[in-house]
Chain A
């Protein structure tokens, strides 16, 4: 007699377990179908417990809920947007003051900034040395 292949034995076990899986899935679906309405009903208990005539006839009535007072209305519809604009304006003022950066074409109204020397030192050496032109000098210039 032939020995059963261990691989095929494994497959046969999987095949035999297939019939038991379908009822389990069916019971899960059934539990879900029952649980959802039950939970919804549970959440609705406070509403169902309220008296039947509560709020009846108030729907569409301009006095229910109570009308907004004028100051509240002004505060809501004018005050909040105005406050928003004010915040934006203040932020723009602050950022505009901070960015003192150079923009081409605008005048540069600042003192000279020296690196490697100073305004005073350069003026002093010019007074002391009083050299004329620099022979053999090179360089380049540019505009923007």
Chain B
């Protein structure tokens, strides 16, 4: 096994920045691992994710990338699955594997994280309850938004009544 993880500091920074912005945008936890699988990828991802989550009801996404095995496994917790459907994750996986196929690991991960973050929405997982099935926030938590995304006003009491 060669020393180091095969990534330059700049590549580390790019992936870490993409991961952090995905967390900030979605309110979900994201973990990424680039390295060999020690068992069946699906089982390993499930085992890792369930133990990485502080609370099993917490929304979290784990991305396991095995360049040697040419295998990518993305696992979403039950709560995260409400915001990130399997088909949305499948599309992100397709984006990532198309980059990995031409040797661009970091670019694929960054684009995949961005796509997952876009599909999950903006801060909904953190702001809403875990019982919600729809992709939109409850009415009392939605502010009136300008077309640019900036909130015009926040009258939650008025809307609630």
Interface residues of A (CB under 8 A from B): 100-105, 107-117, 122, 125-126, 128-144
Contacts and interface: CB of A to CB of B under 8 A. Distances in A.
Contacts of A101: 103
B35 A138 contact: no
A112 B76 contact: no
B125 interface: no
Given A137-B49, A141-B93, A110 B101 contact: no
Interface residues of B, number: 61
B51 A130 contact: yes
B47 interface: yes
Interface of B: 1-7, 12, 15-16, 19, 23, 29-36, 41-42, 45-52, 56, 66-68, 70-78, 80-81, 84-86, 89-90, 92-94, 96-98, 100-103, 105
Nearest to B11: A113
A101 B99 CA distance: 13
B78 A111 contact: no
A111 B3 CA distance: 7
B21 to A, nearest CB: 12
B125 to A, nearest CB: 14
A116 B35 CA distance: 14
Contacts of A135: 56, 78
A13 B119 CA distance: 80
Contacts of B32: 114-116
A114 B31 CA distance: 7
A113 B33 contact: yes
Nearest to A136: B78
A140 B61 CA distance: 11
10 contacts: A102-B105, A110-B5, A114-B31, A115-B16, A137-B49, A138-B85, A138-B86, A140-B90, A141-B72, A141-B73
Contacts of B97: 142-144
Contacts of B96: 142
Nearest to A132: B50
Contacts of B98: 144
Contacts of B84: 138
Nearest to A116: B31
A139 B76 contact: yes
A113 B35 contact: yes
Given A141-B71, A142-B94, A109 B2 contact: yes
